[in-house]
A and B are shown apart, each in its own frame.
Chain A
Amino acid sequence: MPSRRRTLLKVIILGDSGVGKTSLMNQYVNKKFSNQYKATIGADFLTKEVQFEDRLFTLQIWDTAGQERFQSLGVAFYRGADCCVLVYDVNVMKSFDNLNNWREEFLIQASPSDPENFPFVVLGNKVDVDGGNSRVVSEKKARAWCASKGNIPYFETSAKEGVNVEEAFQCIAKNALKTGEEEEIYLPDTIDVGGGSQQRSSGCEC
């Protein structure tokens, strides 16, 4: 069969409530920003076409609910992710402390084939707030954590002012592409020569 190269890349954005996951996605995809805080419910994605080494890819970016009570169906959408973006607010220590939980939770739930080398990207968002005066997580500290987790790429961003957002997602796409190309291909146990498979469903006729 022809080996098709993948053109759809799946990216999951995780992080505490209010760190700016939705805003980062909107800034990247729609070049828009709103100061208003709106909680996300469940999971939601936007797509964006990206060009990389003369090839066109569709980046499918999944924005998620930071508040657990809005994630009632679970996280089945983690599966098949090519890259995971961990976001924290540089002005909120707790959101940084929680990065580890988000990372581990992701690895458990998404169960990627090679968890050691699964690409993450960390974004320290809201660097614009109060001219950086209310910042509580230093760049050094964040970089140290990233280094300790297998040299995770790190970006300091401002979704509000669009600082580093494009660069960060370029990097995210590049890393997602790496996983995408290495992904194993499903092979069925048996090839159904007849072409039709019988219906097992016991549900009603709908």
Chain B
Amino acid sequence: MISSDGIEDEEKWLAEGIAGLQQNAFHMHRSLVPIPKPNPNFVRLNFNSRFLDFKFVVVLLKDSNNLRDALKYSAQMLSELRTSRLSPHKYYDLYMRAFDELRKLEMFFKEETKRGCSIIDLYELVQHAGNILPRLYLLCTVGSVYIKSKEAPAKDVLKDLVEMCRGVQHPVRGLFLRSYLSQVSRDKLPDIGSEYEGCYSACEFILFGDPELRPAIGLSGLQGPAREKEKREKERSELRDLVGKNLHVLSQIEGIDLDMYKDTVLPRILEQVVNCKDELAQYYLMDCIIQVFPDEYHLQTLETLLGACPQLQPTVDIKTVLSQLMERLSNYAASSAEVLPEFLQVEAFAKLSNAIGKVIEAQVDMPVVGSISLYVSLLTFTLRVHPDRLDYVDQVLGACVKKLSGKAKIEDSKATKQIVALLSAPLEKYNDIGIALKLSNYPRVMDHLDNGTNKVMAVVIIQSIMKNNSCISTAEKVEALFELIKGLIKDLDGTPVDELDEEDFKEEQNSVGRLIYMFYNDDPEEMLKIISVVRKHILTGGPTRLAFTVPPLIFSALKLVRRLQGQDGDVIGEDMPATPKKIFQLLHQTIEALLSVPAPELALKLYLQCAEAANDCDLELVAYEFFTQAFILYEEEVADSKAQVTAIHLIIGTLQRMNIFGVENRDTLTHKATGYSAKLLKKPDQCRAVYACSHLFWVDDQDGVKDGERVLLCLKRALRIANAAQQMANVTRGSSGSVALFVEILNKYLYFFEKGNPQITSSVIQGLIELITTEMQSENSTPDPSADAFFSSTLRYIQFQKQKGGVMGEKYEAIKA
């Protein structure tokens, strides 16, 4: 019978079933016209006559043709439900059609009783249908009218019905029949609860009147070939709502108050759940219990509910069940502040925490990811319900550490993802790294991450700090923070960095750099402590990291120096720990570390920064020392000619702004700087550096150096170099080079002329202009439009100054352009 394309056959069988059902329903409808009057021939039959043939009985009822037909056709219609060839899904389709038809029959019965037909007689009459399944459907239908009529105690009727429903052995058909009974008596149950019988019986009816609960959800074992098993699993999962619905019906009964739920309902449901010993059924039923009963009931019965968890089969997906429970409870807590005391009163956290521990203990085969996700749920719960209880948070993390301890670092990516979720949750909740730093177990959890994930987590921490603009204000906190992000600070267990993408590495280290600026304390002493801590840690980072981490440390320290300097100078005594001098000493040693990278150009820049800061603190010797260091670097380490040009201009610029040097020190430094300038590789670079040096001798301040003679010397020297460059061009290319250098020098002349340097006279300028003009007109000059434009705009400037008149105009008058 069962062919390979079972699905097609099933469609056919369903279609046949529907056709049979509709035909009989059609005849049934025709019979559903009211019986004119109570029938004198209606014979009361006792229960024993149940087994009489239906046809025989209707013979006794000759005159009640309508009722007879209605019963006959409805029984035939219901016979279609006797099929065992349909899957639960298809069977439900057929069942629903029969269900709809039975509603009409029910209304007919109701009308009949209003017209005087005895409901008891009806109840007994329908028991003569030949087959048990149609008979029971009819019985339940009349039964629901019977209960409503209040002619017999609802409890007795239900008990009778439940007893009889047990007669159906087939699990699927039986389950649907039970569902039918529960459905048609559903709207009568609140009445039973409140008015007549007490809720207790209602509860008993739903729970224990259900012999199908166990066989159906268990659906007879998992033996048989794999394909069969798969099919059975599917059927079972389709059927589960029929079972779950009983719980739903139960939850809708108003009479079941908290006490009753606590003392009777829940313990008995759980007893059944535990005893059914089937993992799918247990999972589903636990899910149902949590979803259909109200939160406050769960809260008040946590112990009982959670107590059942370790008793479930070891393979039950208990973590999802518990997560859903905790999520519901957190939502409940969030719904109103008034319910929070309830949580405290029942010690919800302790109970949940305890239960999770027990479940993890009981389910030895649960993968690590399972237990960690349980902790994530618990943490989410406590963060939402008890945000003020940091000890709870730490406790959850501690339990997680305990679970992970003794194990190798977690490699499973799902598990590490959960740990990241666990560690991120407090950051997201509090938006304050300070909180995480207070959690003693936080770094211990991090230690269980593999190096890659550890870094990911470190980046998450830094991003949280940056996003919230959190200031970390004590050395102690900074120390704790570095412990958390150590994966970024140094190589862990000697893992080589080379596996890492260079871009990623830069990104990581830049984030560490940004982080350093987030450390701040108003108290200079604490700030110095912070700086020392940072220094201690970043120096362990090795050459690849120093270039990223040293500069922010230096600038952070220089900020402190300027803060100290801004204070009243007298306050700073020698006994104070935080003095600029001491800080400079520290910085000196720190910058030195860059030499191991090596990063001489960076170190040079930092030395100059320090020198400038020392200048502002009136520390001549310190500033001098920094310059010396910069010069040593320049001489010994900066080899590339382009780097030299950049460096020399930085040196000149910084030196120009220094004002604390005595004559001797200043002479030494400026002498060196001009010396370096003249020794640059390319002539144009030499020329530009030398004319820049002229500014070292003329500082446009009130007390600035004003040594006109040496300015002129510089400029003349620059001219000579420009000349030499021109000649070199002649030799090598056969044409003279650009006049650009001359025009640039002319502009320097004009600057000092205006500043009143007596050495720079109008005639000197005049001579230079003529020189440039001649050069430009010479036959073998190389055309250089930008130099030409520069020159003509310089001449226009001179013209403009003349026309403007005044003192400056008079000064310019002598120059003929």
Contact = CB atoms under 8 A, between A and B. Distances in A.
Interface of A: 1-2, 4, 7-8, 10, 22, 30, 32, 34, 36-42, 44-47, 58, 60, 65, 67, 69-74, 76-77, 79-80, 186-188, 192, 195-197, 199-206
A73 B167 contact: no
Given A8-B103, A42-B241, A42-B244, 18 more contacts: A22-B252, A39-B248, A41-B241, A41-B244, A45-B183, A46-B187, A58-B107, A60-B103, A74-B238, A76-B92, A186-B25, A188-B26, A196-B76, A199-B76, A201-B79, A201-B80, A203-B82, A206-B131
Contacts of A204: 84, 169-170
Chain A to chain B: the 3 pairs with minimum beta-carbon distance, closest first: A36-B294, A39-B291, A42-B241
Interface of B: 1, 16, 20, 22-27, 29-30, 32-33, 72, 76, 79-80, 82-85, 88-89, 92-93, 95-97, 99-100, 103-104, 107, 131-133, 167-170, 173, 183, 186-187, 190, 237-242, 244-245, 247-249, 251-252, 254, 287-288, 291-296
A76 B169 contact: no
Given A73-B89, A76-B92, A199-B79, A4 B292 contact: no
A187 B170 contact: no
Given A41-B245, A41-B247, A206-B82, A36 B295 contact: yes
Contacts of B76: 196-197, 199
Nearest to A65: B241
Nearest to B80: A201
Given A36-B295, A41-B244, A199-B79, A73 B249 contact: no
Given A192-B23, A203-B84, A206-B131, A70 B252 contact: no
Contact of A202 (B83, B288, B293): B83
B242 A70 contact: no
Contacts of B16: 200
A72 B167 contact: no
Nearest to B296: A36
A27 B23 CA distance: 38
B26 A44 contact: no
A132 B74 CA distance: 52
Nearest to B23: A188
A206 B131 CA distance: 6
A203 B104 CA distance: 27
B492 to A, nearest CB: 43
- The interface centre, meaning the residue of A38, A40, A72, A73 with most chain B CB atoms within 10 A of its CB, is A73
A187 B76 CA distance: 17
Contact of A200 (B20, B239, B240, B292): B20
B169 A206 contact: yes
Contacts of A30: 190
A71 B239 CA distance: 10
B79 A38 contact: no
B68 to A, nearest CB: 11
B187 A2 contact: no
A76 B96 contact: yes
B749 to A, nearest CB: 73
B88 A73 contact: yes
Given A38-B251, A38-B252, A38-B294, A74 B79 contact: no
Contacts of A188: 22-23, 26
A5 to B, nearest CB: 13
Contacts of B107: 7-8, 58
Contacts, number: 139
A204 B80 CA distance: 12
Nearest to A1: B30
Nearest to B76: A197
A73 B243 CA distance: 11
A4 B238 contact: no
Nearest to A73: B92
B173 A72 contact: no
A205 B167 CA distance: 11
A139 B511 CA distance: 48
A102 B32 CA distance: 36
What's the dominant secondary structure at chain B's contact region? helix
Contacts of B95: 76
27 contacts: A8-B104, A8-B107, A30-B190, A32-B254, A34-B294, A39-B292, A41-B244, A41-B248, A41-B291, A70-B244, A70-B288, A71-B241, A73-B89, A73-B92, A74-B238, A76-B97, A79-B96, A79-B100, A186-B22, A192-B27, A195-B72, A201-B79, A201-B82, A202-B84, A205-B131, A206-B133, A206-B173
Contacts of A195: 27, 72
A65 B245 CA distance: 10
B294 to A, nearest CB: 3
Contacts of A8: 103-104, 107
A2 B190 CA distance: 38
Contact of A197 (B20, B89, B295): B20
A108 B245 CA distance: 25
A8 B108 CA distance: 12
Contacts of A65: 241
Nearest to B167: A206
A79 B95 CA distance: 12
A72 B244 CA distance: 10
Nearest to A205: B131
A112 B16 CA distance: 21
B177 to A, nearest CB: 10
B326 to A, nearest CB: 15
A10 B96 CA distance: 13
A42 B190 contact: no
Nearest to B103: A8
Nearest to B186: A44
A72 B287 CA distance: 14
Contacts of B104: 8
A70 B293 contact: no
B294 A73 contact: no
A196 to B, nearest CB: 8
A72 B241 contact: yes
B88 A201 contact: no
Contact of B89 (A10, A36, A69, A74): A74
A73 B241 contact: yes
Nearest to A199: B79
A74 to B, nearest CB: 5
Contacts of A42: 241-242, 244-245, 248
A18 to B, nearest CB: 10
B92 A44 contact: no
A196 B54 CA distance: 13
B294 A206 contact: no
Contacts of B190: 30
A34 B296 CA distance: 12
Contacts of A37: 294-295
B248 A44 contact: yes
A70 B187 CA distance: 21
Contact of A72 (B25, B100, B237): B237
Contacts of B1: 202
- The interface centre, meaning the residue of A30, A34, A70 with most chain B CB atoms within 10 A of its CB, is A70
B152 to A, nearest CB: 21
B170 A206 contact: yes
A153 B287 CA distance: 36
A30 B194 CA distance: 13
